[in-house]
Every structure is written in C-alpha cells, then in structure tokens.
Amino acid sequence: MCAAPLLPLEDALRILAAAFPPPATPEIRADRDDPALDLSSMDGAALRSQDGAAPRRVLGTLFAGDDPAAFRVEPGTCVRIMTGAALPPGADAVVPVEDLVQGPQGLTPAAPPLPGAHVRPRGSQARKGDLLLPPGAPAGAGHTGLLAQVGLPTPPLARLRVGIVPTGDEITAHPAPHQIRDSNGPMLEALAHALGAEVRRLPPLPDRPEAVRDFLLGLGDLQILLTSGGVSAGDKDHLPRVLEAMGARILFHRIRLKPGKPMLTALLDGRVILGLPGNPVSSYMNALLFLPVAMAGLQGRRAPDPWKEGRLAAAVPNPGDRPLLHPCRREGRDLHPLPSQGSADLVRLAQADAFAWVPEGGMGAGPTRYLDTL
C-alpha cells in the first residue's frame, strides 16, 4: 500500500537523537585549587623526606578534614596521616603504613622517602579559575557531582511527564470475544515508570480523526506521548494524517524492523510523540528502543546505546524482508530463542530476557547483537 522505502532502525534512532537541542548545562570552572592543599594519597606518616630513613617521633594524627595547622613537622618527627588528609606544615612526603616500622624511637621508614611521595599536590587536578567543562556538556550524575564540587547549583531532580494512550475501538475493560483488554497501556506504563518517567495513563482513544485531533490539542504539560495502534496504513489509522494536518514535524514513519514496522515519531509543539504499533510486542519493542532516546534528548543526557553483543544458541528463521528482533532466554551471553508466535505473543515477551537481532533471511547459531528486556 505504501511504496516508500522503510527506514533502517539505526537511522531512525539517530534521527530521533538528533532532533533535540544541545544540553543547556552551564560552564564549570574551578572555584579553588584542586586539591586546595597538598593531600596524602595513602594512610601512613607525613614527614620530611630530607631526613631519610631515620626514626621519627609521632606528633599526632591527621584525618581527612582535619586542619593541618595543628602540627608542625620538625626534623625527627612525623604525623600519622590518613588518605585525603592535608599534609602538616614541614612535611613534604608520605610513607605508607606498610613501609613503616614501629620501634622505641617512633616510626622508621623501610627506605628513604622521595620528596612528594604519595602526595597529591595542591592544584595538581586544577588551578582556581580553570575551565573544567564547557557549557553544553552532557548532563548526568557525574556532571551533577562536578557542579556540587565547585559550589554551583545542581539541577532539580525532575521526572519527565510521559502520557500513554492506547487507540482502537476494540479495547474495552470487559471484552466480548471480538474485543480485547488494554494490555499495552499497563505494559507501557510499567516500562516508562521503570525508565524513571512520571507516567499518566489515559483512556483509550476511539478510531475517529476528530477524537485523535482533540486529544492531541489537550496534552497539557506532557513532554512525551506514547500512543499504541492507529499508526499503520489502514483506513482507521488516523494518527499519521492527523499529526501532519496539525503541522507536527514527522521525524520518521515506518521502519525496517519486525515487529514494529509502522513506528512513527513526531515533534508537536515541543512534545515528542512516539506512535507505537498496536501489537503488544511491537509496541513494547519500539518503546524500549525509542523512549530512552527521547528521554535522554529532553534531559540533555547522552543518547543511550541499547545494543549488546551475544551469541544466538540456535538458528532462527526470518523469511521476511525486515530484520527481526526475536525473544530469547539469556544465559550469560548465550541467547536461546523462545518459540515466539509473533508480535501478539505477550507470553514470550514476558519470558524473554533479551531480544536477538536476526537479519533478513534468518541466521544460524552464532554471534549477533541483542537488547535486554526491562
């Protein structure tokens, strides 16, 4: 019905990742020398290197955070020191505990220490005012830690607001034999929640273009919308046409993947619309692939890479003209194919530890990439 060539999955992932502006993170400069003093990098004794292997009387102990001015190391003395503690005035080296001998005259180094041994010198990491990270660096826990270290405000712990709406007149809470329950809604809700989103599950959308349009006009403060169904090329698949008519920027529609061909991704008024196929496994698979990319894009984090390298333990046929993601039980890196009945097979999805990549034409046992389930 639609002759447009299908987009390879890697292109689709790249296009979505590229749809976001660079991270809005600030420049980070050192607010003081780092470390701010000469610090010990070992538990041991702080002493004068020029006094060689002579015994030293212990003046006391310095822990990380202690003011080193409490002591002054003179010839014949030393201070016990813990990792991270600042060197007391007079000391220029640290001898680790394991190289110290306790005797009647104090502590004796096993060998003459070198100047600066086991010392992290003041400013060796950075000088006050140094540019540590330029603006626009990816956000993340490490970035937050660095902001805190130099005394800059850390970003608020926001959760992305993700809406989930199944589409289709066949969905009902108490189904007749020709109807079905909504399994995609709870499944996608669990997936998005596990990915850290604040999820709002919305009632199923009927198969009418006006209903789809009215719904899309009332998304409120949602930042990402997951729809399931209504995105293929059938007469009741209104989402692509309605989005286009509303001026959404369609990033892509229809990808070269089984299950999941009808997948659509669009930007609408700053929101990300992930139009997932209606079949449960297709819906799950595309959410697993694209939702983390959309979330990272909106949060200024690095685009995640979902692939791992494993080994298919048995042959999997794939007569179609699209690469297949096949449910597997995983043991270490060995992927044991489950007897999937296709994109409606929620049992195999629930059993799967991973989905293995099987190229067009199928493949025998051997190395391939895979996705872990969530």
Cα 36 to Cα 29: distance, rounded to the nearest angstrom: 14
**Closer residue to a copy of itself (CB): 231 or 248:** 231
**Closer residue to a copy of itself (CB): 123 or 362:** 123
For the purposes of burial, counting CB atoms within 10 Å of the CB of 168, is it exposed (0-12), middle (13-18) or buried (19 or more)?
buried
Output the smallest distance, CB 69 to a copy of itself, in A: 8
Of 84, 88, 25, residue with least CA distance to 56: 88
**Closer residue to a copy of itself (CB): 151 or 366:** 151
**Closer residue to a copy of itself (CB): 33 or 360:** 33
Output the smallest distance, CB 135 to a copy of itself, in A: 13
Output the smallest distance, CB 92 to a copy of itself, in A: 17
Output the smallest distance, CB 367 to a copy of itself, in A: 10
**Closer residue to a copy of itself (CB): 52 or 145:** 145
Which of 141-155 are b and which e, b meaning 16 or more Cβ less than 10 Å from the residue's Cβ? eebeebbeebeeeee
DSSP string, 235-290: TT--HHHHHHHTT-EEEEE-EE-BS-TT-EEEEETTEEEEEE-SSHHHHHHHHHHH
> In whole angstroms, how far apart are CA 6 and each of 118, 276, 298, 368?
60, 16, 26, 22
**Closer residue to a copy of itself (CB): 301 or 336:** 301
Output the smallest distance, CB 178 to a copy of itself, in A: 4
**Closer residue to a copy of itself (CB): 152 or 267:** 152
CB neighbour list of residue 341: distance below 8 Å, 6 or more residues apart: 348
List own/partner pairs for 55-64 with CB under 8 A and 24 or more apart. Answer: 55/103, 55/105, 55/106, 55/107, 55/108, 56/106, 56/107, 56/108, 57/105, 57/106, 58/106, 58/107, 59/88, 62/86, 62/88
Output the smallest distance, CB 11 to a copy of itself, in A: 15
Query: What residue type is 32 in one-letter code?
Result: R
Whats the size of the chain, residue-wise? 374
Token pair belonging to 145: 């830690």
**Would you tell me how many other CB atoms lie within 10 Å of the CB of residue 64?**
12
Output the smallest distance, CB 160 to a copy of itself, in A: 11
Output the smallest distance, CB 269 to a copy of itself, in A: 26
Query: Any bridge partners for residue 198, and if so which?
Result: 161
**Closer residue to a copy of itself (CB): 2 or 217:** 2
Output the smallest distance, CB 243 to a copy of itself, in A: 20
**Closer residue to a copy of itself (CB): 246 or 336:** 336
CB neighbour list of residue 174: distance below 8 Å, 6 or more residues apart: none
